[in-house]
Amino acid sequence: MTSKGQGQLSSSTISSGVPPEMPGPPTNIAISNIGPRSVALQFKPGYDGKTSISRWQVEAQIGIIGENEEWVMVHQLPNEPDARSLEVLELNPYTSYRFRMRQVNIVGTSPPSQPSRKIQTLQAPPDISPYNVTLRTASETSLWLRWVPLPEWEYNGDQELVGYRVQYSRAASKEGVLSHVISDRLEREFTIEDLEEWTEYEVRVQAINGMGSGPWSQPVQGRTRESVPSCGPTNVSAFATTSSSILVRWGEVPQADRNGLILGYKVVYKDKGSDSVPQYWVVEGNTSHSVQLSGLGKYVLYEIQVLAFTRIGDGRSSRPSILERTLDDVPGPPVGILFPEVRTGSVRLIWQPPAQPNGIILAYQITHRRNTSNSNAATVDVLSPSARQYTASGLKPESVYVFRLTAQTRKGWGEAAEALVVTTEKRARPQPASRPTVPQEDVQARSVMLSWEPGSDGLSPVRYYTVQYRELPDSNWTVHSASVNHEASSYIVDSLKPFTSYQFRVKATNDIGDSEYSQESEAVTTLQDAPDKAPTILSVTPHTTTSVLVRWEPPAEKQINGVLLGFRVRYRELQYDHLRSFTIRTINSPASNWAELTAPYSVRNLSESSLTQYELDNLSKHKRYEIRLSVYNAMGEGPTSTPQEVFVGEAVPTAPPQSVTIQSSTATQLDVTWSPPPLDSQNGDIQGYKIYFWEFQLQNETERLRTMFLPELGVKIKNLTGYTTYMISVAAFNAAGDGPRSPPTRGRTQQAAPSRPSFLHFSELTTTSVNMSWGEPGQANGIIEGYRLVYEPCTPVDGVSKIVTVDVKGSTPLWMKIKDLADGVTYNFRIRAKTLTYGPEMEANITTGPGEAPGPPGEPFISRYGTALTLHWTSGDPGRAPITCYVIEARPSDEGLWDILIKDIPKEVTSYTLNLDMLREGVTYDFRVIGVNDYGYGSPSAPSPSISAQKVSPFYEEWWFLVVIALVGLIFILLLVFILIIRGQSKKYTKKADSVSSYPHLGSHSNSTSLPLSHGEMVRLDEGRFPALELNNRRLSVKNSFCRKNGIYTRSPPRPSPGSLHYSDEDVSTKYNDLIPAENSSLTEKPSEISDSQGSDSEYEVDQNRGGQQKTHSFVNHYISDPTYYNSWRRQQKGVSRPPAYGYTQPEPLHPHPLDDQDPIQPTTNTTPRHPPPLPPLPPLLPRALSPSPQPQGLQGLHSQGGLIQGLAPQCQGTLFRPKGSRTPTPSLLSCSVSEPPSQHGTLLYSSRPPSSLGCSSTQQPPTAGFSSFV
């Protein structure tokens, strides 16, 4: 109770002696009477706790998206303990709610009831209008309207139907009201177009939705920007006052078309018959409406227009153009006088009408006389106005005459044109003028003065000059004038570009033709001039609350007319009230400058010529400014740009929001919070924030926008995709626009149930199996842990409906082979993916059985060969379509589940071979065949007989077979060795007998005459039989038989060993004392000439019982007996010089000559003989009593394991020699004695290396014997 009275009563009932308890929750909550802002709840009270209920509480979830929305208290009903229903008020229209209740007693509040069903209130028109409505001038014909959009909870209807309506009209006028509807609920600005220039408008805005319109905002006013007049003055007239002046008058510009303050007028005029640029006559001030145009051409028809201009620029010219001609006057001189025909007694003259006729030409007058000081007689002729030529006759030869030509109008005779001519037939073209010169003092910014000296006129006076120029560096020559007076020696070239380099040249023209052009002048650069054009302002935007950013594009370089030094920014505050009052003032002084009628400009000089933007600061807040821009060079400042207006005081934020954080709330919601931009960068009141969010790396495809208004500093972004990374950026905005975005911040939603698999597909359907595949969920919403497949027959099979559940672990594979199906049964398959929980199912049905597929093929039978099985079958019924292929199924006989083993067998094939490696070894399999056509898999054939997959090894892989093969091989090898031994022994004795019988025949060759071998033959012997180096059983037998026949026992020759080799004749002298002298001799090889081949001595043993002869083998006889040893053990390299190997001299009786050195011989041929030469004769042995001749100094004996061996000299004796550095000895001279008896012998000496070849030949046959060298 207060002083005003008693308040609402609150009561509670309690029973004495019974302690109260906590109440229970209400139950059975029902909702009815749903309206835009209220609902009615019915409920059943819960347990009252043994006391009365003092208050009912209603909580609600608002804007329900998921189960995790918070509960908010929305209504309370006190002091109604018996209430069974209540009305919840002050709800938001078109909003989702879920309610629950609590009951309160003296002890406390009960737990909440079960939530009610979800409801949505009805729609309603918006309750409020947009606020913070502002209007700014956008251009001469547009206004910029801005407002703060409605919050989402104020839509009161479907957000897709929420928008705004803008209404505008002229201020203080109720007519011509226009409106525009904006359908975007988030839009907060609109530019009103197509308005009148320099006109004030009133604008207001309201929100709309599907149910209607909200209230109007308070009206705001704004004026369009000043512009140029949209039409010219009215009542334009012109009157020619003299031959060079016209008076022009005009009226006012209509008020609606002025578009600003008229600051003056311009009269635009030009010669109607020319293409010249129009000229302007400026009349400043808005009170003078006439002007006298002077300095005009005489009797010229002019086209005249008048326009008005404001501070923005020139308006449109008046229409139509006024035509007025100046008065006539005496004409100018005729032009183009030439004398195309000149004789000694006559000339013909031609001309063109005057360039300034100044009226209508009525006649021409021609006067001619001799050009002498004492000649007063002149001939005068008057011609019609159409005459263009004249012939004068009766002239004196080789004389100079003067012709004067004038034209006549109604004002009288005009100025005369004068020309000289010489009556001669020796005329020629003129000579070129001198090189033009340009004095520096005559160089201006747009003109120069040329000077030149005329050349010879060729006895025909020059009629005119032509001046050309070109712009450097690479422009073409251009004619500036082709009618320079013939008497001129200088000429002003105008209309040039400032600060540009030029060259000039001149040519003269007389009656005969043109001269050559003069030499080009030196390069001349015109002076600088003030720029011709202003920069183009691209934009003027608020930057801060006291500054604007001006961006511009400078004029083209050729329009700067010099070196750009910088820019000038002019700006001033606009006061529309002052300007409005000016429109009704009268300006009495036409000379007043329009700039003096407004506030003066402030100027800032920017001395950096490369600038393209500038921040103009220190401006006043909430003021409108006009900004102009110009450029300047050393000569001055150019024109100013078109003015740009800007409102100062509002600017977009220059910094983004700070401390943007993201919290993952649920699988579909991210909570974003932030702090405002720094205060000094807000540039006004922050109206709200824009939240940009998109899926990571998919910004262009998924970016969305959420707009929040103050005082919100956080947002719950809902309806996101589960387990997805999002990038979020926040930007602040104020009345001037949007500020910069914050750097993107990353956040990820929590995992959720995946969507259902993208597809479910069946293939390879048979009577008992099917291959099932599925696609990944379109939205995984987490990490896929696996899939659950459930399938069951749609109708019971044999009274049983078996449900099979299969869990597939992991995200792959995405297929499964189902084998345990029944034929002809329809199955229902369901599959769903799992992350934290299972998602929705993908469901499909499939019926087993062939249907219209092929029938069963014939029962297959199997043939087996090694590790391969071949199945044979016959084709069955193809079904509704031809068979396309076959498949083979297999199953282990003990499991009973068929599985496809081979697919895509061509339809023409009725057998197939498979390898046992495809099966499990030791398992017994059944096989069957299925036909396939376009309708699917057909019925299977009957199973084949069971067959085991046990591999059978072939007999050749058994161990016993390998042992038998090894034994047989060993026996064969032993047998082969035995046969070879027996065969070798038999051939040895046979060839020995042949050797003995052939000795007398061989000895007959000892007396034959021998010729030396040529170098080519020796090479052929050396290279033709290289394989003969290996010991041949047959040839060794022949050679040794021969030796034994002659009492000589030989052994295989030793190969030279590395180092010095020494051969001793000890063994020979002890065994053959009757044949070899007692004196020993030795031959030693120099270390530098040691062979790089090494071999062991080889011996051939003969029967020890044959005459007690020793088993020795002579080194000499071994090589001389077998012609196959002509070849070296190492072939002579091609290109290596072959020094002489042997030198033979004719010996004195019983006194052999010493060795003779021979010059090397360069080989010239390298051929291989086809047949081996015949055996040479064996030289007779020396008697023991004879002593060999002394050996040359430096030759030593050859050492070997067999001791020292002394060679035996035949009748043909000589020396063996090989120079140092030669690897293979080469044969030299071979001389044989014919007259000496066989008893005369010489000594055969061996060099440190064996010779390549040696032999003697008769006059009838080639060499038959020789040595074979070895290395």
DSSP string, 32-62: E---SS-EEEEEE----TTB---EEEEEEEE
Q: How far apart are CA 534 and CA 211, in angstroms?
A: 55
Q: Which residue has the higher pLDDT, 567 or 1121?
A: 567
Adjacent-strand bridge partners of 242: 245
pLDDT band at 1089 (very low <50, low <70, confident <90, very high): very low
pLDDT at position 189 over 80? yes
pLDDT band, very low/low/confident/very high, at 766 (cuts 50, 70, 90): confident
pLDDT of 1094 reads 36
Residue 985: pLDDT band (50, 70, 90) is confident
Q: Which of 163, 217, 233, 221 is nearest to 195 (CA)?
A: 221
Strand ranges across the sheet with 786-793:
804-809, 786-793, 826-834, 842-847
- How far is 860 from 96, CA to CA, in rounded Å? 70
- 623 forms bridges with which residues in the sheet? 648
pLDDT of residue 125: 94
**What pLDDT digit, counting tens, does each position of 730-741 carry?**
999 887 788 999
Contact partners, residue 1186, CB within 8 Å, separation at least 6: 1077, 1150, 1241
How much is the pLDDT for 1229? 34
C-beta neighbour count of 84 within 10 angstroms: 12
What mean pLDDT do residues 1185-1200 have?
36
Average pLDDT over residues 1029-1044: 41
Instruction: Calculate the average pLDDT of the chain.
Output: 77
Please report the pLDDT score of residue 576 as a whole number.
58
Least confident of 388-397, 954-963, 1221-1230: 1221-1230
CA distance 1065 to 1078: 10
Q: Which whole-number Å values give the CA distances from 343 to 8, 391, 426, 952, in the listed order?
A: 139, 11, 10, 133
pLDDT at 199: 87
Token pair in block for residue 991: 């060839």
Ranges 408-422, 591-605, 833-847: which has the least confidence? 591-605
Report d(CA 1263, CA 692) in Å as an integer: 111
Buried b (16+ CB within 10 A) or exposed e, 714-725: ebebbebbbbbe
Percent of the chain with pLDDT over 90: 39
Q: Beta 613-616 vs 547-553: how paired, if at all?
A: antiparallel
Residue 872: pLDDT above 80? yes
Over residues 677-682, mean pLDDT: 89
- Per-residue pLDDT averaged across 252-281, rounded? 89
The answer for 704, left when phi > 0, alpha when psi is -120 to 50, beta otherwise, is beta
Q: Which of 1262, 1243, 1263, 1242 is nearest to 1253 (CA)?
A: 1263
Q: Residues 1023, 1270: contact at Cβ < 8 Å?
A: no
Please tell me the predicted confidence (pLDDT) of residue 1178.
43
CA distance linking residue 564 with residue 559, whole number of Å: 10
Please write the tens of the pLDDT for every residue from 1198-1246: 333 333 333 333 333 333 333 333 333 433 333 333 333 333 333 333 3
Q: What is the per-residue pLDDT for 1152?
A: 37
Average pLDDT over residues 8-16: 59
pLDDT confidence of residue 15: 59
pLDDT bucket at 1017, cuts 50 / 70 / 90: very low
Handedness of CA 178, 183, 189, 194 (dihedral sign): negative
Residue 285: pLDDT band by 50, 70, 90 thresholds?
confident
Higher pLDDT, 533 or 17: 533
Q: Tens of pLDDT along 321-352?
A: 999 999 999 999 998 888 888 888 899 999 99
Overall residue count recorded for the chain in this entry: 1271
Return d(Cα 785, Cα 722) in angstroms, integer: 15
pLDDT in tens, 576-618: 544 443 333 333 443 344 444 456 889 999 999 999 999 999 9
Which pLDDT band, with edges at 50, 70 and 90, does 827 fall under? very high
Query: How confident is the model at residue 375, as a pLDDT?
Result: 63
pLDDT number for residue 1236: 37
Q: Report whether pLDDT(654) > 50.
A: yes
Taking the whole predicted model, whether its pTM rises above 0.75 is answered as no
d(CA 1008, CA 1188): 24
Asked whether the predicted pLDDT for residue 620 surpasses 60, the reply is yes
Structure tokens, 315: 């308006």
pLDDT at 953: 67
Please tell me what DSSP assigns to residue 803: -
Query: Is the pLDDT score of 1182 beyond 70?
Result: no
Half-sphere exposure of residue 422: CA atoms within 13 angstroms, side-chain side: 15
Task: Determine the Cα–Cα distance for residues 396 and 401; give it in Å rounded to an integer.
Answer: 9
Q: Structure tokens of 460?
A: 């025909």
What distance lies between CA 324 and its chain's CA centroid?
67
Q: What's the CA angle centered on 620, arms 614 and 624, to 5 degrees?
A: 80
Q: How confident is the model at residue 1184 (pLDDT cuts 50, 70, 90)?
A: very low
Beta strands in 968-1035 (DSSP E): none
Q: At what angle do helices 959-997 and 1033-1045 cross, to 10 degrees?
A: 30
Whether pLDDT at 916 is above 90: no
- DSSP-derived secondary structure letter, 432: P
Closest CA to 573 of 647, 474, 498, 663: 647
- Which tokens go with 307? 């326009």
Give 1065-1072 contacts, CB < 8 A, sequence gap 24+: 1065/1197, 1065/1203, 1065/1204, 1065/1205, 1065/1206, 1066/1203, 1066/1204, 1067/1112, 1067/1202, 1067/1203, 1067/1204, 1067/1205, 1068/1112, 1068/1114, 1068/1203, 1068/1204, 1068/1205, 1068/1206, 1069/1206, 1071/1110, 1071/1112, 1072/1184
Query: What DSSP designation does 675 have?
Result: E
CA distance 1009 to 1026: 29
Q: How confident is the model at residue 11 (pLDDT cuts 50, 70, 90)?
A: low
Peptide bond into 711 cis (omega under 30): yes
**pLDDT for 519:** 93
